[in-house]
Amino acid sequence: MKAKHQRLTLLILAIAAVLAAVLLAMSAIRDQASFFYAPADIVRKGLPLDKAVRIGGMVEEGSVRLAGDGVTMDFIVGDETDATIPVRYKGIVPDLFKEGSGVVAEGRFQPGGLFVADEILAKHDENYMPPKLAGERHKTESLK
Amino acid sequence: MIAEAGLAALWLAAALSLLQLCAGASALRTGGDQLLPMIRPIAIAQGVLAALSFFLLIQLFLATDLSVKLVAANSHSAKPWLYKFAGAWGNHEGSMLLWVTVLAMAGAAVAWLERRLPERTLIATLAAQAAIALGFYAFLLFASNPFERLNPAPADGNGLNPLLQDPGLAFHPPTLYLGYVGISVAFSFAVGALVTRDVGPLFARAMRPWVLGAWVFLTLGITAGSYWAYYELGWGGWWFWDPVENASLMPWLAATALLHSVTVLATRGGLRAWTIMLAVIAFSMSMVGTFLVRSGILTSVHSFAVDPSRGLFILILLGLYIGGALTLFALRVGTIREGSTFEPVSREGALVANNLLLSAILGIVLIGTLYPLGLEAATGDKLSVGEPYFNAAAGPLALALIAIMAAGPLLKWRRDRLKELARRIWLPIGLTTAALIGLLLLAPGIGLLPLLGLTLALGTAAASLAPLWKRNLRRTPLFTWGMVIAHLGIAVSIAGMASESAFTKETLVAARLGETVNVGPYAIRFDGIEPLAGPNWTAIEARLVASRGGGSSLTMTPQARVFSSPQTETSEADIATLPGGQLYTVLGREDEQGRWQLRLWWKPFVTLIWLGGGMIALGGLLSLIGRLRRGRRPKAEEVYA
């Protein structure tokens, strides 16, 4: 094989590999990625029942209840609207989980509207707020 | 005074980088200039000044000088010494200063040590390094000044995020940055070679040690970061496919591909344009990662501040450097001489397959990281892309890559035959098959990916040792040892990952004092709970006594800590490394009936993940030493393993 031909073959192979990777990635994203819902989104779009999703918002004050087994927890997530999501989680909540502060949970909705979380995410820092709320607070601060 | 001196050193370093860029450019244009002998000393002085500025920032943190805004915002007088020291880079400005310092010192190291590169290419390389440094000095001086004063000084500082108050902070960021930013040298080499059109085996041999060095640090930094996340976050996970983790994985994937393609260029003169491209991509990925982590578009323990103007600044630098390098590549790629051709079944052929697969995986990680950000910016929809996506998309390619890694080193350079390969690789293939059958019988239902991971890891481990077969081990070159150990490290690490995901046992209970809980083969008795005080925290500590089958017992003490500045609760897991795995214990909260939440894991062979990571880095280090030694004896160049 001539050098030029080999170069061309390699180029075609490389492009094919990248295209295959992109196709693989896009199809995997369609199947595997989970969308993020705030309580207001549930009111607007309805319950996403068919797949795992993430929800996020603020843990409402006084809403955290521990069940009889000592490890299952119920709480309510709210946002700046009146909408709320009841959440159930079995596990130890992360260090930064507190009433009145932000939370992101991954799991599935039950047909009745209860969100059963597999995981409560702790990837935020102590100043974390859902972006919308942060925006609100920013506005009030700049008004001062 | 110290803050002003630090700022002055930073300004001087920036001025020197401008001088270095101009002197280099003018020397290249006129082809000979009295500035020429000045360029190496300028680059070294620039590195020293940047390091001095960084050293002065550390001084400020050690002295807790609260009249400096950065110290007041991120430190506290009651913090232990180690976290005052490491806290210097536990914030946005300090970590960017560390970034620039590594960049400047990498340039200084090239100026000081590089002797093999032709003079003109070296000058172009140093000019490119200076151009990158200049942009990031500007970013520091205009958008992230670490030395800004605060008047009046507060009574005490705000303290450091307790999640970062860990010895890991002293190790993970510096090693990661040495690799992450050190790979800039490959970028500058590529730009230098494009400017002088001098791409060949000699160039590749000059570039290889720098790539190896950066890659070793990057590997260590990622491994350390993974272990830190594993024990600090208290989730029992070791990799979360978080965008900030991907930000370090992407340069690693590109650097790994580069490491292999540069060997093809050095040995056989092939893959010229491709190697240059990979060198550009590797550091571009580092810059993309810096943008993701430092711009504030992601929220995590790594991103310290949200400030849109900073994000825009880095984005402009990113576009300038990546766009500039790619434009130069497009203009010059036609003039790069074509390398020699090669056969598909050969060492080169396997290395090309390695490069294609690594690039495809890089593409998948890049899409998985950027797509959600792009989607959110475009439509406002939030998408979370996590483990299911990466396993589904990158998993199959990774398995194929491991198979190629097992076979590649058993192929000869230039031309080989599949029949010959089959003769050399039958034992590893036999082992893989036996392991597959054994696992299907003994441990059915562990999932496809862990099953294939475990079996391939065994075969790959055997195959990676094969190049040493029937060789005089004392005469085997050090870089061959390096390759063997690094490949073995990959197999070890994969085995750990697969074992962790297949065999982990988890127990979650609310336990009363005196109660015994089982997890995996261990029985754990909840013996006591008591308060405890540290230098800047108080804690509640549980005493758990673990024993296996009535044998000797060990005591484990997970804590729930409350830090005073800033006021934060963290959970300190207690992890015991035992023969056969790790026992991982986390203490939760107390309920109304006086029971305590306990989360317990038994993770068989999980330590192999990081042991493998360490072996990969060690392999790289041995290769580096071997190459440098061989480089000093040019007569031996013809002999290649």
Share of residues in chain A with pLDDT > 70 (%):
80
**Same domain flag for A22 and A39:** no
- Is the CB of B383 less than 8 angstroms away from the CB of A90? no
Strand-strand pairing, B516-519 and B522-533: antiparallel
Binned at pLDDT 50, 70 and 90, residue B142 comes out as very high
Structure tokens at B415: 């031309």
- Structural domain that includes position A105: 34-143
Q: Would you say residue B542 has pLDDT above 90?
A: yes
Question: Of B341, B381, B508, which has the smallest distance from its Cβ to A90's Cβ?
Answer: B508
Q: Would you say residue B636 has pLDDT above 60?
A: no
pLDDT at residue B173, rounded to an integer: 93
**Same domain flag for B621 and B526:** no
Binned at pLDDT 50, 70 and 90, residue A140 comes out as very low
Q: List, for residues B393-441, the tens digit of each pLDDT value.
A: 999 899 999 999 999 999 988 888 888 888 888 889 999 999 999 999 9
Using alpha carbons only, give the angle B389, B393, B398 rounded to the nearest 5 degrees. 125
pLDDT at residue B71, rounded to an integer: 93
pLDDT at residue B633, rounded to an integer: 57
Three-state secondary structure of B566-615: CCEEEEECEEEEECCEEEEEEEEEECCCCCEEEEEEEEECCCHHHHHHHH
What is the domain count for chain A? 2
Mutate to test the interface with A, among B307, B364, B401, B567 (most CBs of A within 10 A): B364
- Is the CB of B341 less than 8 angstroms away from the CB of A3? yes
**Same domain flag for A11 and A56:** no
**Same domain flag for A122 and A60:** yes
A-chain CB neighbours of B352 within 8 Å are 10
Mean pLDDT score, B134-159: 92
Please identify, among B165, B196, B211, the residue that sits at the C-terminal boundary of a domain.
B165
Q: Would you say residue B149 has pLDDT above 70?
A: yes
B-chain CB neighbours of A70 within 8 Å are 509-510, 591, 593, 595, 597
**Same domain flag for A20 and A41:** no
Residues 248-277 of B with CB under 8 A from A: 274
**Same domain flag for B16 and B42:** yes
B-chain CB neighbours of A134 within 8 Å are 306
Tell me the count of A-B CB pairs closer than 8 A: 144
**Same domain flag for B8 and B152:** yes
**Same domain flag for B10 and B139:** yes
Binned at pLDDT 50, 70 and 90, residue A133 comes out as very low
- Is the CB of A66 less than 8 angstroms away from the CB of B359? no
pLDDT at residue A137, rounded to an integer: 37
CA distance A32 to A13: 27
Q: Would you say residue B242 has pLDDT above 90?
A: no
**Same domain flag for B449 and B598:** no
**Same domain flag for B47 and B32:** yes
The nearest alpha carbon in chain B to A30 belongs to: B389
- Is the CB of B364 less than 8 angstroms away from the CB of A25? yes
Question: Of B341, B357, B383, which has the smallest distance from its Cβ to A1's Cβ?
Answer: B341
Binned at pLDDT 50, 70 and 90, residue B33 comes out as low
Rg (CA), chain B: 26
Question: Of B233, B338, B382, which has the smallest distance from its Cβ to A35's Cβ?
Answer: B382
Binned at pLDDT 50, 70 and 90, residue B51 comes out as very high
CA distance A106 to B8: 49
**Same domain flag for B15 and B157:** yes
**Same domain flag for B46 and B156:** yes
- Structural domain that includes position B483: 441-499+612-641
Question: Of A24, A35, A128, which has the smallest distance from its Cβ to B364's Cβ?
Answer: A24
What is the domain count for chain B? 3
What is the pTM (predicted TM-score) of this model? 0.90
B340/A contact by beta carbon, under 8 A: yes
ipTM: 0.74
A-chain CB neighbours of B356 within 8 Å are 13-14, 17
Share of residues in chain A with pLDDT > 90 (%):
10
B-chain CB neighbours of A10 within 8 Å are 274, 352
Instruction: Choose from A11-20, B230-239, B452-461, B627-636 the range with maximum mean pLDDT.
Output: B452-461
- Is the CB of A124 less than 8 angstroms away from the CB of B299? yes
Binned at pLDDT 50, 70 and 90, residue B305 comes out as low
pLDDT at residue A3, rounded to an integer: 66
B637/A contact by beta carbon, under 8 A: no
**Same domain flag for A60 and A87:** yes
**Same domain flag for A98 and A137:** yes
**Same domain flag for B617 and B596:** no
Residue B221, in any domain of the structure: no
Residue B299, in any domain of the structure: no
- Is the CB of B508 less than 8 angstroms away from the CB of A4? no
- Is the CB of A32 less than 8 angstroms away from the CB of B569? no
Q: List, for residues B345-363, the tens digit of each pLDDT value.
A: 889 999 999 999 999 999 9
Mean pLDDT score, B531-548: 92
Q: List, for residues A70-108, the tens digit of each pLDDT value.
A: 889 899 998 888 889 999 998 888 767 878 878 888 888
Binned at pLDDT 50, 70 and 90, residue B129 comes out as very high
pLDDT at residue A1, rounded to an integer: 55
Instruction: Tell me the pLDDT of chain B averaged across its residues.
Output: 90
Instruction: For chain A, give percent helix, strand, coil, nearest 5.
Output: 35, 30, 35
Cβ partners under 8 Å of residue B410, min gap 6: B421, B424, B425, B463, B466, B467
Mean pLDDT score, B614-635: 85
Residue B424, in any domain of the structure: no
Q: Would you say residue B627 has pLDDT above 70?
A: yes
pLDDT at residue A128, rounded to an integer: 40
Mean pLDDT score, B386-390: 85
Residue A39 CA from chain centroid, whole number: 12
Binned at pLDDT 50, 70 and 90, residue B615 comes out as very high
**Same domain flag for A84 and A46:** yes
A20/B contact by beta carbon, under 8 A: yes
- Is the CB of A14 less than 8 angstroms away from the CB of B359? yes
**Same domain flag for A58 and A110:** yes
Angle between helices B478-503 and B608-632 (to 10 degrees): 170
Mean pLDDT score, A8-34: 81
**Same domain flag for A84 and A28:** no
Residue A74: which H helix or E strand, with range? strand A72-78
| Closest-CA residue to A70 (of B570, B525, B590) | B590
A-chain CB neighbours of B357 within 8 Å are 17
Least confident of A56-60, B479-483, B599-603: A56-60
CA distance B453 to B502: 10
Q: List, for residues B455-494, the tens digit of each pLDDT value.
A: 999 999 999 998 888 788 888 899 999 999 999 999 999 9
Residue B399, in any domain of the structure: no
Q: List, for residues B494-530, the tens digit of each pLDDT value.
A: 999 999 999 999 999 999 999 999 999 999 999 999 9
**Same domain flag for B599 and B564:** yes
**Same domain flag for A21 and A55:** no
**Same domain flag for B143 and B7:** yes
Mean pLDDT score, B22-42: 83
A18/B contact by beta carbon, under 8 A: yes
B381/A contact by beta carbon, under 8 A: yes
**Same domain flag for A11 and A69:** no
Query: From the CA of B367, how many Å to the nearest CA of chain A?
Result: 7
**Same domain flag for A26 and A58:** no
Q: List, for residues B245-278, the tens digit of each pLDDT value.
A: 899 999 999 999 999 999 999 988 888 889 999 9
Residues 282-311 of B with CB under 8 A from A: 299-301, 303, 306
CA distance B139 to B12: 15
pLDDT at residue A142, rounded to an integer: 32
**Same domain flag for B627 and B599:** no
